[in-house]
Structure 1
Amino acid sequence: MTSDPRAVPPPQRTLPAMLQRQASLFGSRPLLRIAGRQWTHADAAAAAATRAGALAQHGVARGDRIAVMCGNRIEFLDTFLGAGWLGASVVPVNTASMGPQIEYFLANSEAKLLVIEAGFLDRLATADLARTALREVWVVGDAQAEAPWTPPAGVRVSAYPSGAQALPPAAVQPGDPLAILYTSGTTGPAKGVICPQAQYFWWGVNSAEVLGVGRDDVLCTTLPLFHINALNTFAQAALTGAEVVFESRFSASGFWPSMRANGATVVYLLGAMVPILLAQPEGEGERNHRVRTGLGPGVPAAAGQAFKARTGVALLEGYGSTETNFAIATAPDSPRGGVMGWLRPGFQACVADEDDVPLPPGEAGELLLRADEPYAFASGYFHMPEKTVEAWRNLWFHTGDRVVRDADGAFRFVDRIKDAIRRRGENISSFEVEQVLLSHPGVASCAVYPVRSELAEDEVMAALVAREGVAIDPAELARFCEGRLPYFAVPRYIDLLPDLPRTENGKVQKFKLRERGVGPQTWDGRPVKAG
């Protein structure tokens, strides 16, 4: 059996084959530490087989969907691996989601089973589960102690099953769906990205190559498992024989103590996390660690340089999305910084105008991508054929991001073409925020758009027009949103306007609102924090 992941034959680029391969190659080597639990590489395959048996006992079959709303706990990975072993698909749900979002994810994905942490059960009280295909709920933790909740008729609720008879792996194919990951819609509801088995394999291969991950590395992340970044970190360890540690959440003051305690050699950061760490007082602990490298997509160049000077850790840049793969990246010996990086082997890229005509170096256009290997990209949007055709038209995936390709082949990010907002590592749909604002009885019309923050990321801003005779209190409106939106999507800035700028046909001109930005009349609620 080859130890080179790239030499794995196409039929074996599946999660069950990956788990069997790692058990054979790496056996008793440590693989996982999470919330006080540990696995070896052999344990992962055994856990997947046993969880597949429990799923099958409860009526889950190949092709079904299983929603998971859980923090960084072993039950998340247990369910993910078990579903992949069985040939079912996991639907990760952002733990900040409220009732309306949970209902939408369940209804759109047609999930039969929901695995949910007890602390989130009360969110289901505002979700109309009768409009979904849900039949059963598995509760992780003490449901009675955390959040009493009465399930609707036809939905069984039980504790997360502890054991079952192990099943042999299903004969899954590289193109079979492994997960449906919801990414925020830009002009409509969130889209469920269908991630095939082989895409997950290639995420692990490409990311491990970029970071130079080997069997002696300890990967440590504070990012949530409901996003591809952390899920992909598990694949990196599984493919290389390394060990991965998942922390429950990011803490600026606790980051370096945690990295030292875990013996981390590779870390994973998002753009805004680095300025937050740099805002902490300098200390000896920033140098007294084993970290040799890290992934830091979206980190401002100046912040990356300051981070290296203080910690000795050079962060690598790169580009990938839920729909694609790690297609563009820098390297430790890259000739310059301030760029997303250079195209990686196995991918093709094009910078094109609005008609998909390639543009010469130096001109800004939309980044189009495609992969050489089958199923290295997502296979479409679940139950959204029109959106799938639109995004994958002309045999290219249209990223919606405006970039420039320089003469030396490096790609530089310019801005987003899509009407989306990115804050705290989360994609926010302006459409969804607008729908919540419009449900308030005092709001006649609104527009939601990004403005830049002091952390080099987006903040959510809303321009509102009140109904005639109604006085809107921005603070009250923000509280109204808190119970209906994830915390990171609640507008920080609110402007009250007599009207919104519009085109001749009535379309709101958001670019004018973005140019107007935050003014002295703008209400500032400060960022809403989790917990």
Structure 2
Amino acid sequence: MNAQALFAMMVQQGDVVTDRFRDAVRHHPDQTFIRYGEEGRDLSFAAFEAEVATLAAALQEMGLEPDDRVSVFTRNSWIATLAMFAVWEAGAVYAPVNFNYAGRLLAYQLNDTAPRVLITDADLAPAVAAVLDEVSLANIVVHRPLPSDHDHDPAKAALPPALLARPGLHDLAELMRTPRRHRPVTRGAADIANIIYTSGTTGPAKGVVQPFRWINQYTFNSRAFLTAKDTIYCDLPLYHVGGAMFLVAKACWTGCAVSLWDKFSPTRFWDRVRTHRASNAVLLDVMVPWLMSAEPRADDRDNTMMRVHMQPLPARHHEVAQRFGIPFSTAGFGQTESGNGFVALIDQFGEAEAKRPDFRVGHDRAAVLEIARQRGIMVVDGAEPLAKGFMGRPSPLLEAAVLDADDNVLGPDEAGQLAFRPRFPHLLLRSYFNKPDATIKTFSNLWFHTGDAVRRTEDDVYYFIDRMGGFFRVRGENVSSYQVEDLLNTHPDIRATAALPVPAEEGEEEDCAVFIQLVEGCSMTEAELRSFAASVMPRYMTPRHVRFVEALPVTPTNKIEKYKLKQSLLAELAAARAAAETGR
């Protein structure tokens, strides 16, 4: 199937997620849509639609107009899902906030987005109250868990006085108490669905403006393997596209259920899968070694998991699949800006049976392979070794290339920056919100520059090499070296900071290391630095390695030579490991 035919198929399936949601409500209203595992709460498509309509109506009564932004700042995946759909139904833009944010990071994003409404938790209300003097918020909706709710905490039930005194404060439970109907808003492929923030490398974080067709493109290939009998497992945060779009929103196109959880649990993962008969999931980096570290059991394959997407693809992917009876894995490249640029299907069992018939869900092997053939999706044998960084072949919807520093297209096996051009309109981000210069730069020479270094083989298979700029992946989160440095440099005794990634001790991603140059005459211990870091940044952003230096090495133009710092730290860590092994 050529690119034009695939695009026609994608558009025919529906560009707007809310249209697909309403279709699901009409065609199978009583079928289960959301299974909120934290509270054992199951909602059909019709029941969920009634909840969504009530919140959407409440938002419109607050004065919410089409294309207004709504920031959603919550740890509760049910509240995030409800808010996301209600925002879309009201014709507004979903703008989630990382629930680990506080202080400077939180104030920046709220000021940048300028939401008409903020939806948050009582648990996070102190963080909101702390920045009220720095941001403008006309309406704040607070989820205050009831004693029967799993996230109820009596110690955090009382809202801060500064928030209670705020005009435009609303209690979510009160808003939801009286069922209402909203004014439907028609949305199209080019209309804005989301503003999702990604880490800034040389400046503040950037809001990625995504049209509705972006969601369609991002989920198009992966949802092809789903049926209405599948259940998608989601324990990823819904402030990222992986959880919100790739897992939850995707279900609207197939009418299947979503097994929803607030966070990943390595000890309860498989029990959750069995309880909800979940068949599709995403495993990010450290999730894999954590699951594999459990003592093997005779019933490891007694589960309904039929396909997992692993990113980055671990070297042990085949071992994972064989142990837990997962017939297929997928690999690829997903990005907040470009969506699903690459995909590959990994056949982990071949003709062999992965699990007993009573644990099989959805398509059989023949159907999965036929879908891949029709879509032009690369299929590989899981038993055959794959080089590190394997991503598969480009989506036919996008033109992909490896570029040098001057945007010349490089040949096979030459390393350069991955770039995309959409073959059809509204497939990629529209812009970076409020950042025209950054938008122009990333689209220079009519290529979207991903900021990732890759290589391409002669037969058009792509492999990820590294990130080109100042951000890296830590425990599934993008960490910006700029943000780490900016936050630490607010300490009056710190003159300069250099943040950089080093290989993680566990998993395929990275740990954060910082080199600190103090103001002359000042002193600081590592414990003091860590205490300060914990007060100004999320836990995942805090450095794993801390080193104090007399001076940071710089170039003649005063750019910090981070490669020298990284070389010295890697040598030090290698020596320490060698000494530890010798001493055993």
Q: TM-score range by the shorter chain?
A: over 0.9
CA distance in structure 2 between the aligned counterparts of 1:11 and 1:151, rounded to whole angstroms? 48
Alignment of 1:443-482 (within 5 A): 443-454=494-505, 455-482=507-534
Q: In structure 1, which of residues 65, 69, 93 is the aligned counterpart of residue 69 of structure 2?
A: 65
Q: Is the 8 A contact 2:51 2:179 kept in 1?
A: no
The equivalent position to 1:288 in structure 2, one of 302, 307, 322, is: 302
Structure 1 distance, partners of 2:523, 2:197, is 36
Q: Once structures 1 and 2 are overlaid, which stretch shifts more, 336-345 or 437-446?
A: 336-345
1:24 aligned to 2:26? Answer: yes
- The amino acid across from 1:463 in the alignment is F
Q: Distance in 2 between matches of 1:125 and 1:117?
A: 12
Q: Is the 8 A contact 2:31 2:45 kept in 1?
A: yes
* Structure 1 equivalent of residue 252 of structure 2: 238
Shift of residue 172, structure 1, vs aligned partner: 1.9
Show the counterpart of 1:304. Answer: 317
Where 2:466 maps in the other structure, the secondary structure is strand
In structure 1, C-alpha distance between the alignment counterparts of 2:50 and 2:8, rounded to whole Å: 24
The answer to whether structure 1 residue 39 and structure 2 residue 43 are counterparts is: yes
CA deviation string 1:424-465 (max 9, x = no partner): 110111111111211112211110011111222110100011
Q: Deviations over 1:325-360 (max 9, x none)?
A: 112011134236331111123121011111111111
SS at match of 2:111: helix
How far did 1:69 drift?
A: 0.9
Structure 2 residue identity aligned to 1:240? T
Partner of 1:151: 162
After superposing the two structures, state which structure 1 stretch, 236-245 or 194-203, moved more: 194-203
Gap runs ≥5 in structure 1: 525-531
Root-mean-square deviation (CA, aligned residues, Å) is 2.2
The CA distance in 1 between the partners of 2:25 and 2:467, in whole Å, is: 42
Q: How does 1:101-112 map to 2 (within 5 A)?
A: 101-112=105-116
Distance 2:556 2:12 in 1: 53
Equivalent position SS for 2:197: strand
Aligned match of 2:237: 224
Give 1:12 shift: 5.0
Counterpart amino acid of 1:224? P
Q: Deviation at 1:476?
A: 1.1
Deviation larger for 151-160 or 256-265: 151-160
Secondary structure of 1:375's partner?
coil
Which residue identity is paired with 2:138?
Answer: R
**Residues 144 and 288 (structure 1 numbering): CA distance in 2 closer, same or farther, change over 3 Å?**
closer
The one of 461, 479, 485 equivalent to 1:410 is: 461
CA distance in 2, matches of 1:57, 1:50: 11
Q: Which range moves more in the overlay, 229-238 or 382-391?
A: 229-238
Superposition deviation, residue 145 in structure 1: 5.0
CA distance in 1, matches of 2:226, 2:427: 20
Given the superposition, is the C-alpha separation of residues 24 and 443 from structure 1 closer, same or farther in structure 2, using an over 3 Å criterion? same
Measured in 1, the distance between the counterparts of 2:301 and 2:480 equals: 39
**One-letter amino acid of the structure 1 residue matched with residue 169 of structure 2:** V
Read off the aligned partner of 1:140 and give its amino acid letter.
Answer: H
The one-letter code of the counterpart of 2:319 is A
Counterpart contact for 2:7–2:397, Cα < 8 Å: no
* Superposition deviation, residue 405 in structure 1: 0.7
Change (3 A) 1:414 1:39: same
1:194 aligns with 2:209: yes
Partner Cα distance (2:18, 2:524) in 1: 55
CA contact (8 A) 2:400 2:419 kept: yes
CA distances 1:278-298 after superposition (whole Å, capped 9, x unpaired): 122222342111111101110
Q: Where do 1:55-204 residues align within 5 Å?
A: 55-127=59-131, 129-142=132-145, 145-146=155-156, 147-151=158-162, 155-160=167-172, 161-162=175-176, 163-204=178-219
**Structure of larger gyration radius:** 2
Distance change >3 Å, CA 469–CA 178, structure 1 → 2: same
CA 1:425–1:238 in 2, change beyond 3 Å: closer, same or farther? Answer: same
Q: Distance in 2 between matches of 1:236 and 1:218?
A: 11
Aligned length, in residue pairs: 516
2:365 equivalent in structure 1: none
SS of alignment partner, residue 210 of structure 2: strand
Q: 1:155 to 1:373 in 2, by over 3 A?
A: farther
Whole-Å Cα distance in 1 between the matches of residues 414 and 285 of structure 2?
25
Counterpart for residue 559 of structure 2: 507
Q: Could you tell me which residue of structure 2 aligns to residue 391 of structure 1?
A: 442
Query: Which residue in 2 is equivalent to 1:528?
Result: none
- Aligned-pair CA distance for 1:76: 1.3
The aligned counterpart of 1:529 is none
Q: Indicate the larger mover: 355-364 or 270-279.
A: 270-279
How far did residue 242 of structure 1 move? 1.2
Return the offset for 1:11.
Answer: 11
Instruction: Give 1:314-463 correspondences, 5 Å limit.
Output: 314-333=328-347, 334-335=379-380, 337-338=386-387, 339-454=390-505, 455-463=507-515
Provide the rounded CA distance (Å) in 2 between the counterparts of 1:259 and 1:5.
34
Secondary structure in 1 aligned to 2:223? Answer: helix
Q: How far 1:45 sits from its partner (Å)?
A: 3.7
Counterparts of 1:189 and 1:225, CA distance in 2: 21
Separation in 2, partners of 1:139, 1:355: 50
* Post-superposition offset of 1:65: 0.8
| Partner Cα separation in structure 2 for residue 512 and residue 364 of structure 1 | 22
Deviates more, 1:137-146 or 1:370-379: 137-146
Does the CA contact (< 8 Å) of 1:11 and 1:173 recur in 2? no
> Which letter maps to 1:448?
A
Evaluate the alpha carbon distance shift between residue 9 and residue 275 of structure 1 in structure 2; reply closer, same or farther with a 3 A threshold: closer
Letter in 2 for 1:312: G
Whether the aligned pair in 2 keeps the contact of 1:19 and 1:44 (CA below 8 Å) is: no
Secondary structure class of the residue paired with 1:28: coil
Deviation of 1:137 after TM superposition, in Å, equals 1.2
Paired position in structure 1 for 2:350: none
Partners of 1:476 and 1:521 in 2: CA distance? 22
TM-score (norm 1): 0.92
C-alpha distance in 2 between matches for 1:159 and 1:134: 15
Given that 1:267 and 1:293 are in contact with CA atoms closer than 8 Å, whether structure 2 keeps it comes out as yes
Deviation digits for residues 115-155 of structure 1, max 9, x if unmatched? 1111111112432x233231121111249851531236654
Partner Cα distance (2:499, 2:167) in 1: 37
- Distance change in 2, residues 1:215/1:246 (3 Å): same
Measured after TM superposition, the shift of residue 182 of structure 1 is 0.6
Equivalent residue, structure 1, for 2:282: 268
Give CA deviations for 1:368-412 in whole Å, capped at 9, x if unaligned: 013233212111111000001111222221100000111221110
Correspondence for 1:527: none
Task: State whether residues 32 and 245 of structure 1, in contact with CA within 8 Å, keep that contact through their aligned partners in structure 2.
Answer: yes
